[in-house]
Amino acid sequence: MRLFITKKWHWSNIALLKWSALFIGMILGAYFHEVVVKNTWAVVIVALLFALRPARAYWKDDD
């Protein structure tokens, strides 16, 4: 079984994955709200770091 494989997903599958990730994040944020509120800047920095790679891949030229 290969763990990392390249697949072309339908837009609806990607949307469902994003919504499920959003809901899981909301549940975890509600459950661990004391930790999240205390470390708001750390959470923001981690979120921005996670967004860098996909943003770079999106705007990168494939020359």
Is the pLDDT score of 1 beyond 70? Answer: no
Higher-scoring residue by pLDDT: 40, 6: 40
Model confidence over 14-54: pLDDT tens digits?
Answer: 899 899 999 998 999 899 999 888 999 998 999 899 889 88
Is the pLDDT score of 61 beyond 80? Answer: no
pLDDT value of position 23: 93
φ, ψ of residue 44 in degrees (nearest 5): -65, -45
Give the residue among 12, 43, 49, 51 at the shortest CA–CA distance from 25: 43
pLDDT value of position 63: 56
